[in-house]
Chain A
Amino acid sequence: MKPISRVVQSTPPSGIRRFFDIVSQMDDVISLGVGEPDFATPWRAREACIYSLERGQTHYTSNYGMLELRQAISAYLRRQEGLEYNPENQILITVGVSEGMDLAMRAILNPGDEVIVPEPSFVAYKPCVSFAGGVPVVIPSYMDTGFTVTPEQVEAAVTDKTKAILISYPCNPTGAVASKDTLQRIVDIACKYDLYIISDEIYDRLTYEGKHVCIPTLTGAYERTILLNGFSKTYAMTGWRIGYAAGLPEIIEAMMKVHQYTMMCAPVMAQVAALEAIRNGESDSNEMIEQYNQRRRVIVKGLNDAGLKCLMPGGAFYAFPSIKETGLSSDEFSERLLFEEKVAVVPGGAFGECGEGHIRCSYATSMDKINLAVERIARFVSRL
């Protein structure tokens, strides 16, 4: 048989996968490796979905998604960020932000176009660019800048082939948030070189100190930004796969075209649940955020006390401590921690080369488990 696609073949499988295979064969593991909320979806959203199924609401929706849901998102963005997006043609309901990211890349890229991708970052970004025929250009960030890239790095990475820059704060895996000033200067560079900005703001509400900076609110950003967000983290709805994209009508229409021919529409029952969540889920959501915030302080103190230098993350639900002083690679550290103390974390190298020397610890797990895990990590580190 002829070989499969060169692009797909040359894309390595997610570094997380190998770990998952090991962990799933072990018992009694405390996992700090999970990239999703430990809370189940608020009951009101689940109940709304059940009711819609009972009524037989089981058909296709508009390619853009249910108008009611787009209207609710439009109202939410106006209320939360003061942004105006017309629900008729500026908002597209996607199958999670993952699909939104894919659509954004396929809508704007020509073969060979470059996309600037800061790292450490979500594992899917680079493959998304490559699958769409683009070339990811990585700019690294490290602990000394709080894991945010600098405007100087961004500008230095711009070439005549650069088409877009990807921004994602709060960041998975580092929990980093960038200052308004830094983000504005990055936006200025995008304006200077006429670049698209793709902003993945899935963790926007999980910002613990100060207010989240929504990229399209910055000067000059609205026209060139594709805002990606969704329901997975804010409303603990990961498995429902509902996200959305917001931007100028011509960009959203282009994304809709790809979506129309590949996905048709996001699942209707999940859209119904998302509608209930965005309409009435505010207090459920705030309750979860308050708990993440408490766990954040506990895990960061615990990791630092254990001898792993860890910054206080400003958002998301990840701590990203350094393990450099142990002399182990992030793979070795994670593997030995798993076998010797039954605690699962994700090696930082899975999120880009510059993530090496760190591990990602998710605190989307109960306080009891966090305390126990931290205790085991401390024991492990003291033995090294």
Chain B
Amino acid sequence: MIDKQILKILERDARTSPSDIAVMLGKTEDEVRESIKNMEANGIIRRYKTVIDWEKAGREQVFAFIDVRVTPSRGVGFDDVAKRIYNFPEVHSVYLVSGDYDLRVVVGGKTMHEVAFFVAEKLATLENVLSTRTSFLLKKYKDDGDVFVETETDNRLAVTP
């Protein structure tokens, strides 16, 4: 059974315990455990991860958004070339998009040189790739719903009617 309320709670905080979720939703702990187990089993919950500000943690990292124009292959369309690309560990995301380019690829590396090298060596040389356009990420404001710059603080008066 798909329980979207449980999913939303876990999406916000994956560490929320089944007993807490049970109280929040007015269900029994067993119901919640069962539901989570099912959703894990059928791949609705893929895995649990942590949102990290790597910059704050001191890790040097460079990201680039690479738009790729490709010729789709007969029979497999874009899937084949997408797979060739997404299997590289440097590649963080690959999307098929509408517009002038076909694939939007996000690539990460330790240095700008490393990312540029990956594009020139691995991406541009792929048989079906016609052209690429690279934009380096300069500052991350918001990622996947999380704001990475200053956040608003609670500035309410402590006691109000």
Q: For residue A207, give the distance in angstroms from its CB to the closest CB of chain B.
A: 15
Among the listed B20, B23, B152, B158, which residue makes an inter-chain contact with A34, where contact means beta carbons less than 8 Å apart? B158
- A29 contact from B8, B20, B158, Cβ within 8 A: B158
Contact of A24 among B5, B8, B9, B158 (CB under 8 A): B158
Q: How large is the interface on A (under 10, 10 to 19, 20 to 34, 35 or more residues)?
A: 20 to 34
A38 touching B161 by the CB < 8 A rule? Answer: no
Tell whether A20 pairs with B159 under 8 Å between CB atoms, given A38-B154, A294-B9.
yes
Say yes or no: B24 contacts A297, CB within 8 Å: yes
Which residues does chain B contribute within 8 Å of A29, judged by CB atoms? 158
* Chain A interface residues toward B at CB < 8 A: 14, 16, 19-20, 23-24, 29, 31, 33-36, 38, 40, 122-124, 172, 290, 294-295, 297-298, 301, 344, 346, 365, 367
A297: contacting residue among B8, B26, B154, CB under 8 A: B26
**Counting CB contacts under 8 A, is B160 at the interface?**
yes
Q: Smallest Cβ distance from B97 to chain A, in angstroms? A: 25
The 26 listed contacts between A and B (C-beta, < 8 Å) are A14-B161, A16-B160, A19-B159, A20-B159, A20-B160, A24-B157, A24-B158, A33-B158, A33-B159, A34-B156, A34-B158, A34-B160, A35-B161, A36-B160, A38-B156, A122-B161, A172-B161, A290-B8, A294-B24, A295-B24, A297-B23, A297-B25, A298-B20, A298-B24, A344-B158, A344-B159
8 Å CB contacts to A: which residues of B9-58?
A: 9, 20, 23-26
Complex CA–CA separation, A123 to B160 (angstroms) = 10
> Are A23 and B25 in touch, CB under 8 angstroms?
no
Q: Which residues of B contact A (CB under 8 A)?
A: 5, 8-9, 20, 23-26, 152, 154, 156-161
How many Å from the CB of A344 to the closest CB on chain B? Answer: 6
A34-B157 contact in complex given A294-B9, A298-B20, C-beta closer than 8 Å:
yes
Q: Nearest Cβ distance between residue A331 and chain B, in whole angstroms?
A: 13
Are A16 and B159 in contact, with the CB atoms below 8 A?
Answer: yes
User: B23 touching A301 by the CB < 8 A rule?
Assistant: yes
Among B20, B23, B158, B159, which residue has the most Cβ atoms of chain A within 10 A? B159
Q: Which residues of B contact A122 (CB under 8 A)?
A: 161
Q: How far is the CA of A346 from the CA of B158 in the complex (A)?
A: 10
- Chain B residues near A16 (CB, 8 Å)? 159-161
For residue B10, give the distance in angstroms from its CB to the closest CB of chain A: 13
Task: Tell me, in angstroms, the Cα distance from A298 to B17 when the chains sit together.
Answer: 13
Q: List residues of chain B with CB within 8 A of the CB of A31.
A: 156, 158-159
A346 neighbours in B (Cβ, 8 Å) = 159
User: How many angstroms between the C-alpha atoms of A40 and B152 in the bound complex?
Assistant: 8
Complex Cα distance, B20 from A298, in Å, reads: 8
Which residues of chain A have C-beta atoms less than 8 A from B152's C-beta? Answer: 40
Q: Contact check: which of A33, A290, A298 meets B23 at CB < 8 Å?
A: A298
Give the CA-CA distance A36 to B25 in the complex, in Å. Answer: 23
Q: Pick the contact of B157: A20, A38, A294, A298 (CB < 8 A).
A: A20
Q: Which chain A residue lies CB-closest to B16? A: A367
A200 CA to B36 CA in the complex, in Å?
Answer: 41
In the complex, what residues of A have CB within 8 A of residue B25's CB?
294, 297
Q: What chain B residues lie within 8 Å of A20 (beta carbons)?
A: 157-160
CA distance A35 to B161 in the complex (A): 5
Report the separation of the CA atoms of residues A35 and B157 in the bound assembly, to the nearest whole angstrom. 9
A297: chain B residues within 8 A (beta carbon): 23-26
Give Cα A344 to B160, complex, Å: 11
